[in-house]
Structure 1
């Protein structure tokens, strides 16, 4: 592998395992910080490889390829959480600074480990259990009520690896794989929220405002920052939980905590339960690229290099992020030109991915004072890029 070309002045090289859109969106932030990026890309046309000059092709599953890639990096981080534990530990044994650390990353890789640790810490979670067969699942459902949310402990994302079952027999095909599953009580939540935070190896931490995420068919389609009408005490509780998790789990870098807001008991104040953890820049934080003083991508680079963290204050009262899904039209440039002319305040971020119906190919951001107007603008832009509206 060819060594990445370092910036003058002794500035470091950050290696990112994975060449997806998250790595791609770190590039502008790296340029602003005078940092060189190098990505271990899955293919020459991976999203990040199109914009980052140092993008050797290799597999995150191959220890030798990962070690060869990391040899010229000052620190290594990740575009996704699917790097196997043996590969992570090989990096550590080779003396490569890895952030987040393998001991923390496991709580984003393994949902059963995450549930067990959060429960030990007293962080609110749905009722849950590890189940090995239909008998154990039936017992859980009879105790906590049907339907039950069933999850594969590893490998799921964007709604994959999750199903809702009304009876134990519906899950027989998953049990046939011979691995335990995570069963969770279905939470009667009022909305989904997320909080994004960052922590450096020296312990400095910062947290952005809690946001509301809107899901469609298991995919986040809209983010409202900050979450409208959120109880201030609940905002503080969720932010404090994120900061506590950062310290207790020794998380380094940017991470996201996805939560459900649940109604209060007997008319009391609302509360929350944690749904998922993600230890990387996250879709719920894409609004920060234009709506925050420091984006999640710049903050992640600052954190993994143990630089002072940046200011996380919003630039405007409201920011709305709309995810862009692929439609039938593979040619987007004329559509893109039309949107820039129609709405000069719109910020369009496309990921350089081939367009396929339903595939997440980018997002749009708008910010300002009128939340309803911002939502309408973001929705129109996302729909226009997808091809569901034509004017």
Structure 2
């Protein structure tokens, strides 16, 4: 008798889709992919690929037929399209009522305020003069400006020091959110996963180190983080997931302030760069748990396998032949884990990541840093 396993439709062909597909292989889960191009990261490894525009409702509807559930590699599918899929009887996870909080920063801030989640001081601003008024209401400039939709990896974000510098964000013709520039100690991330029937798990809170607005290094767990603050961050993430009705993985990016608090910076409702360490460092990865959640399966153990895990992103540089660096990296560190995304190498582009783990944090960090730099070609020994 033929056993029919569920079909997961993944919208978006990036590395997150690629790694989620990898997590589904041992489970026998079948994948359909809606990808922008046949060269996208996930399109290279998934057999059933539709090349099309996720912004076109007819394309999205045709793709969703035959899927048991539809989930996402990114948050950019129009909210009204997701409502249309639900009206067609398609299980969309996370659903549009939840996902809009990751799509629209203004909606997100309003909801987090309503449920009592601590955030930086903020409001929607109309023009540079309104930015100046917002600054005057608080501690003055600099102020952080964000377009409410479409930003990621530092795009759509400006730090401005005067009204004259505040003109650029308004040229896009979309609402702009002003936020105080938080004087933080470091950035943290709390990753949780929630299923449709309400089961939820929380991964250890991690430190996320950014370079030029892009995640560079993640340390799990965040070193030196007080137990009570770690528990508070995890509880915040679990509360947000429940109150927003999230199904799947939720990443809550946080600021640790100098007075010992955490403030919510951003939300992502999909596997997230701050959770890549879980591929090798946790009993159940974020990708496997995201799949379990959207299929309403029991969630897996999120505990770490080792005292410390470090993930470093491999960014493109001027050294395109990264494969030739494998010999050195693997011989130097047989325990090193390399994950490449099948992308063309371009300066500053995320083309892969490495993970290391062990019980000596300085050594674990050095191993990951060396491998990422050697693969990029910024060091030669």
Both structures adopt the same fold (TM-score exceeding 0.5) = yes
Question: What SS does structure 1 have at the residue aligned with 2:184?
Answer: coil
- Give the alignment's Cα RMSD to 1 decimal: 1.1
More moved, 325-334 vs 38-47:
325-334
Corresponding position of 2:376: 386
Corresponding position of 1:369: 359
2:160 pairs with 1:133: no
Residue by residue over 1:184-204, the C-alpha shift from the partner in whole angstroms, topping out at 9 and shown as x without a partner, is 001000000001000001110
Q: TM-score, normalised by structure 2?
A: 0.98
Question: What SS does structure 2 have at the residue aligned with 1:374?
Answer: helix
Corresponding position of 2:214: 219
Q: Does structure 2 retain, via aligned residues, the 8 Å contact 1:132–1:179?
A: no
Corresponding position of 2:18: 24
Residue by residue over 1:49-72, the C-alpha shift from the partner in whole angstroms, topping out at 9 and shown as x without a partner, is 111111121111111111111101
2:344 pairs with 1:354: yes
Q: Does structure 2 retain, via aligned residues, the 8 Å contact 1:290–1:365?
A: yes
Corresponding position of 1:90: 84
Question: What SS does structure 2 have at the residue aligned with 1:66?
Answer: helix
Structure 2 counterpart of 1:330, from 306, 309, 320: 320
Aligned residues: 380
CA distance, structure 2, for counterparts of residue 167 and residue 342 of structure 1: 50
Residue by residue over 1:240-261, the C-alpha shift from the partner in whole angstroms, topping out at 9 and shown as x without a partner, is 1111111110000001000000
CA distance, structure 1, for counterparts of residue 344 and residue 166 of structure 2: 34
Question: What SS does structure 2 have at the residue aligned with 1:163?
Answer: strand
Q: Does structure 1 retain, via aligned residues, the 8 Å contact 2:250–2:269?
A: yes
Kindly report which structure 2 residues correspond to 1:106-145, keeping only aligned pairs within 5 A, or say none.
Answer: 106-144=100-138, 145=140
Unaligned runs of 5+ in 2: none
CA distance, structure 1, for counterparts of residue 73 and residue 339 of structure 2: 17
Question: What SS does structure 2 have at the residue aligned with 1:55?
Answer: strand
What's the offset of the Cα at 1:8? 4.9
2:333 pairs with 1:343: yes
Residue 8 to residue 283, structure 1, CA distance change in 2 (3 Å): farther
Kindly report which structure 2 residues correspond to 1:298-309, keeping only aligned pairs within 5 A, or say none.
Answer: 298-309=288-299
Corresponding position of 1:147: 142
Q: TM-score, normalised by structure 1?
A: 0.96
CA distance, structure 2, for counterparts of residue 150 and residue 111 of structure 1: 11
Corresponding position of 1:40: 34
Structure 2 counterpart of 1:310, from 295, 300, 306: 300
What's the offset of the Cα at 1:177? 3.7
What's the offset of the Cα at 1:40? 0.5
2:178 pairs with 1:183: yes
Q: Does structure 1 retain, via aligned residues, the 8 Å contact 2:195–2:248?
A: yes
CA distance, structure 1, for counterparts of residue 310 and residue 167 of structure 2: 41
